[in-house]
Amino acid sequence: MYEPRNYRNWVNAGKLIPFQVVEEESDLFILAATELKELSYFFTRKYRQEITSYIKRQPVFASSLKPLKIYADAPPIIQAMAGAADKAGVGPMAAVAGAVAEYVGKELLAYSPEILVENGGDIFVHTLSARRIGIFAGRSVLSGRLALEISPHKSPLGICTSSGTVGHSLSLGKADAALVVSGSAILADAAATAVANQVQTALDIPAALEYGQKIEGVAGLVVIKDDKIGIWGDIQLSPVSPVR
């Protein structure tokens, strides 16, 4: 069932041009200095093909919930996913959305000085100005009430969110939102899954934060469950009016 992605309105685009690219399971929302839809489709198909072709060689890559040893000649995107999964202690497909966002985003930087690629709540961003990204946390009373402040000197960044109560992605926990900030969207995606897996109730937030900060490459964390929030690391939040 399709779930409207209203949270895509929670990013201040400024003068950037928004457009959408949908290729099978990949649904990318992109902001760029110019409309780059045709190029975005090309790169999305390219990296999706690399992933699907590799899965045909090693089918367990698609289903493993644990880190996996991959073939030495695997393409770079597969190697990056496997490496992030190993650091976070999850299966490699936990990083797939962040990987597609980052690889497509980096390709588009050759055509636009600023790029934001969002793929199912997982974001690659390279910005030249300060931006605010709203935090979507499902039915939590905190959903849409907080924005993550992004400074240009800290980009490129990966900002990825996993949830056990929103969307179709597999989560072993019940967090409304587990947001991870990292220099890599691939690592942020894998780590967000790992952190979200630690949360069943709001009482688990401190343990989830402790777990996440031990993952190499994680710069900041936000964990939301019901009306409770936990924050760790290089995170700057600001209040916003709720968006419904």
Domain ranges of the chain: 6-239
Per-residue tens of pLDDT for the chain, all 244 residues: 334 444 455 455 668 999 999 998 889 999 999 999 999 999 999 999 999 999 999 999 999 999 999 999 999 999 999 999 999 999 999 999 999 999 999 999 999 999 999 998 899 999 999 999 999 898 899 988 999 999 999 999 999 999 866 655 555 678 999 999 999 999 999 999 999 999 999 999 999 999 999 999 999 999 999 999 999 999 999 998 654 4
Considering the entire predicted model, what is its pTM?
Answer: 0.90
Beta-carbon contacts of residue 203 (< 8 Å; ≥ 6 apart): none
Q: What is the pLDDT of residue 173?
A: 74
Which CATH number is 6-239's, of 3.40.50.10190, 3.10.520.10, 3.80.10.10, 3.40.640.10?
3.10.520.10
Distance of CA 109 to the CA centre of its chain: 18
The partner residues of 21 in beta bridges, in order of sequence, read 28
At 228, list the tokens. 């409770």
Q: Using DSSP bridges, classify how beta strands 218-225 and 122-126 pair: parallel, antiparallel or unpaired.
A: unpaired
Q: Which amino acid is at 216?
A: E
DSSP labels, the chain: -----GGGGGB--TTPEEEEEEETTEEEEEEESS--HHHHHHHHHHHHHHHHHHHHH-GGGGT-SS-----TT--HHHHHHHHHHHHHTS-GGGGHHHHHHHHHHHHHTTT-S-EEEEETTEEEEE-SS-EEEEPP-TTSTTTTSEEEEE-GGG-SEEEEEE-SSSSSS--SS--SEEEEEES-HHHHHHHHHHHHTT-SSGGGHHHHHHHHHTSTTEEEEEEEETTEEEEEES--EEE-----
Q: What is the pLDDT of residue 165?
A: 61
Burial readout 170-200 (b: 16 or more C-beta within 10 A, e: otherwise): ebebbbbbbbbbbebbbbbbbbbbbbbbbbe
